Amino acid sequence: MSPELLLKGAILGLVEGATEFIPVSSTGHLIVVSDWLGLVDERAKTFDVFIQLGAILAIVWLYRARLRRTVAAARQDPSSRRFVLNLIIAFLPAAIVGFLFHSWIKDRLFNPTVVAMALVVGGVLILLIERLAPAPRVRDVSEVPGRTALGIGLAQVLSLIPGVSRSGATIMGGYSLGLSRIAATEFSFFLAIPVMFAATLYDLLKSWSVLAMSDIPLFAVGFIVSFVSALVVVKAFLSYVSGHSFRVFAWYRIGFGAILLLTRG
């Protein structure tokens, strides 16, 4: 396998890890960067999905102690049991819609033009939500009501459109529904675990026939870079949102989306 191809894999791993958990759309960025790098075949699309595992394992590693405690206490502790149930509730809407329309979404919507429009619209919505500045009622993910979890899950359905951003939809959905910035962000992180594992494994099963043993080095490089970069970005992001709004991400989305639309026009 050529060093040039491995470098492209590392670039895409960096893009995935850096953008997966902030509200700018990792899928959108991967589509655009893959297009720039000339990696647009079915194998490349499967690679883009696979490296998400690296990013999600970064969340599992960072929150390993809390995840272990929650799983161990789920049978006896009502708070832990409610938290797990809320993640299931929030997981189901996007899982059902994604399962039913996976092929149509991948064939029709995975292109830079859709990404650009979704980036701009999403940026405008973030600015509107920040302007409304909803008062926080929930400050810890263990206190999220079931109806709020469902609302976040419905918001997540929008993220099936590339460019909307899964983290953006769930964070801003939670924030709009009364979660504090930190609680909304952490709930988005935890919700990403079942969502991204399910989406990645489902896509790999459907795309298994296009892969070969020779792809292992490329996939390994992308996976490792994605894991490491996600570790760094998630820690920095949590520190940032504890004292700042999400406006900077909104303006980034609008600017990046506008550039994409202009350059493709």
Give the domain extent around 241.
3-264
199-258 pLDDT per residue, tens: 788 877 877 777 777 778 888 999 999 999 999 999 999 999 988 999 999 999 999 999
Q: CA of 209: how far to CAs of 38, 129, 150, 212, in Å?
A: 21, 44, 36, 8
Mean pLDDT, range 133-149, rounded to an integer: 91
**Could you tell me if 46 and 30 are in contact, meaning their C-beta atoms sit under 8 angstroms apart?**
no
Single pTM value for the model = 0.89
Tens of pLDDT, residues 4-55? 999 999 999 999 999 999 999 998 899 889 889 988 777 777 888 889 999 9
pLDDT at 265: 57
- Look up residue 136 and give its DSSP letter: P
**Token pair listed for 45:** 């699309």
pLDDT tens digits, residue range 93-130?
Answer: 999 998 898 788 878 888 888 999 999 999 999 999 99
Instruction: Identify the pLDDT of residue 186.
Output: 95
Tokens 């502790």 sit at which residue? 77
Give residue 212's pLDDT: 73
Per-residue confidence (pLDDT) for residue 246, from 0 to 100: 95
Higher pLDDT, 229 or 134: 229
Q: Which one, of 123, 112, 146, 58, lies nearest residue 262 by Cα?
A: 112
Structure confidence at residue 117 (pLDDT): 94
At residue 184, does pLDDT exceed 70?
A: yes
Per the prediction, the chain carries an average pLDDT of: 90
Q: Structural domain tally of the chain?
A: 1
Q: Which residue has the higher pLDDT, 138 or 212?
A: 138
